[in-house]
Amino acid sequence: MAPSAHHPRPSFAERDAETSELFDQLASSTTEQESEHVVEQIVLLYLDLCTTMAGRYDGRGVEHDDLVQVARLALVKAVRRYEPGHAPSFAAYAVPTISGELKRWFRDRGWVVRPPRRLQELRADLQTVRARLEQELGATPTDADLARAVGATVDEVREATCAATGFRPLSLDCSTADDDRPGMSAFLAADDERLQAADDRVCLTEALTALDDDERELLLMRYVEGMTQREIGQARGVSQMHVSRSLRRITVRLHDHLADRAAEAVADAELEPDRMSTAS
């Protein structure tokens, strides 16, 4: 929502007075159209507040316009929820509402590589404290200074500082310290079918250990020695149908075993961030 024309910015007292009048109009509105018109007028009065508050998060890997949009949506929410008399002024109610929405949005969507929530919150606290300490000390605060100020350990401060790179991680295509050398992507291993085949063999070998000797011998005769089901039946003194059913049963067991391992690997990967957070 943007103003259609530029208007001189009113003083705080003038804006508070106008806001009060508009909320009185909103309370007496009899139609949805009338209410929406008043809501828009209130929002227009506070668009500069949205821009200012969004600016606090500039330079963290998120476009300024995106943050302004989040702030404006929060402003609309504040207008619709505000109850005159429950706060000193509408501005006093809107500021924490907009700030909370920005923090939540930034926490949930601003990270490219998302660290545990405790590090996200500590990083935000450190940014505020660092600016204050620089003014008080007249110098860049040390990790120990920051740790004392936020009630954390030095290691936690350093961990949170490193986590801040999750907002804007370096591209693998960026140059290295030596500009004559290729980007980091040049040092990544290329896809290699032989590596995948080796991984598959390891998994299959593990699955085969779940079979008994007779089942492994049956697989050896069929898939390694290349014998037909009829030939296997003759060698083992059983019918071809019996061989076929045995092979089918063994194949299903192998498939289920490999599927279970894959599911476990996915579950472990999803739980790993929580384990790291708990361990910390």
User: What pLDDT is stored for residue 185 in this prediction?
Assistant: 57
User: Residue 123 class from Cβ within 10 Å (0-12 exposed, 13-18 middle, 19+ buried)?
Assistant: buried
| 3-state secondary structure (DSSP) of residue 143 | helix
User: What pLDDT is stored for residue 40 in this prediction?
Assistant: 94
Closest CA to 54 of 72, 36, 27: 72
The answer to whether the pTM exceeds 0.75 is no
User: What pLDDT is stored for residue 63 in this prediction?
Assistant: 76
Radius of gyration of the chain (CA): 32
In the chain, which residues have pLDDT < 70?
Answer: 1-10, 59-61, 107-117, 120, 163-200, 259-280
Q: Which fold has domain 194-279?
A: Arc Repressor Mutant, subunit A (1.10.10)
Q: What does CATH list as the number for 112-168? A: 1.10.10
Q: Which fold has domain 12-109?
A: Four Helix Bundle (Hemerythrin (Met), subunit A) (1.20.120)
**What are the two backbone dihedrals, phi and then psi, of residue 84, each rounded to the nearest 5 degrees?**
-50, 135
Q: What is the token pair recorded at 206? A: 């593990």
User: What pLDDT is stored for residue 268 in this prediction?
Assistant: 52
Listed in order, the ranges of the chain carrying CATH 1.20.120.1810 are 12-109
User: What pLDDT is stored for residue 230 in this prediction?
Assistant: 92
Cβ atoms of 54 and 12 within 8 Å: the answer is: no
User: What pLDDT is stored for residue 76 in this prediction?
Assistant: 94
User: What pLDDT is stored for residue 184 in this prediction?
Assistant: 57
Listed in order, the ranges of the chain carrying CATH 1.10.10.10 are 194-279
DSSP of 177-234: SSTTSPPGGGGSPPP-HHHHHHHHHHHHHHHHTTS-HHHHHHHIIIIIS---HHHHHH
DSSP 82: -
Condensed to tens digits (0 to 9), the pLDDT of residues 215-268 reads 889 888 988 888 999 999 999 899 999 999 999 888 887 877 776 666 555 555
